[in-house]
């Protein structure tokens, strides 16, 4: 299983950052390059525990659909989503938030496994892990910029 750990320091209140990280509309803005759209389940606003969203996007030149569900949430400290249906064999994304003075540390723990056994593991190592890291970093940059912008 591949794992990506990211830590983003954001000069904003933990509640604001938490809500931005689960905002469907902001996520769609952060994924303009792949034209990602929420097409079923929760399609706008703030996703909540036990809700799901189905995303449609073009990744690696292929139209793909991914359905995720929020399986745990402790506001404003963490939420976790898992893949219900999609191209991965498995996928789990933990979002952790820690208040530090007047800022927030946003932590992503993204674990995934590609299908196709050893071929999938090779593809993860050679390409997919870096692709997914860049994807998450772009999302986090928009969350940071939005959270730190003057109201």
First to last CA, the chain: 41
Q: Are 1 and 113 in contact (CB under 8 A)?
A: yes
**pTM for the full model?**
0.93
Q: Count Cα neighbours of 131 within 13 Å in the Cβ-side half-sphere.
A: 11
CATH code reported for the domain at 2-148: 3.30.530.20
pLDDT tens digits, one per residue of 66-109: 999 999 999 999 999 999 999 889 999 999 999 999 999 999 99
Q: Domain residue spans in the chain?
A: 2-148
Q: How many helices (H) and strands (E) does the chain have?
A: 4, 7
Place of tokens 């803005």: 29
Nearest Cα to Cα of residue 42 among 4, 87, 77, 73:
73
């Amino acid at each position: 299983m591949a794992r990506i750990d990211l830590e983003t320091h954001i000069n904003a209140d933990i509640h604001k950052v938490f809500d931005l990280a689960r905002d469907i509309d902001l996520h769609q803005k952060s994924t303009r390059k792949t034209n990602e759209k929420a097409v079923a389940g929760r399609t706008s606003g703030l996703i909540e525990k036990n809700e799901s969203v189905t995303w449609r996007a073009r990744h690696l030149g292929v139209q793909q659909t991914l359905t995720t569900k929020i399986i745990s949430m402790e506001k404003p400290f963490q939420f976790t989503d898992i893949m219900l249906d999609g191209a991965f064999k498995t996928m789990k994304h933990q979002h952790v938030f820690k208040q530090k003075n007047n800022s927030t540390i946003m932590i992503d723990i993204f674990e995934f496994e590609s299908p196709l056994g050893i071929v999938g593991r090779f593809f993860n190592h050679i390409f997919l892990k870096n692709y997914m890291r860049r994807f998450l970093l772009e999302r986090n940059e928009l969350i940071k910029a939005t959270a730190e912008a003057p109201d």
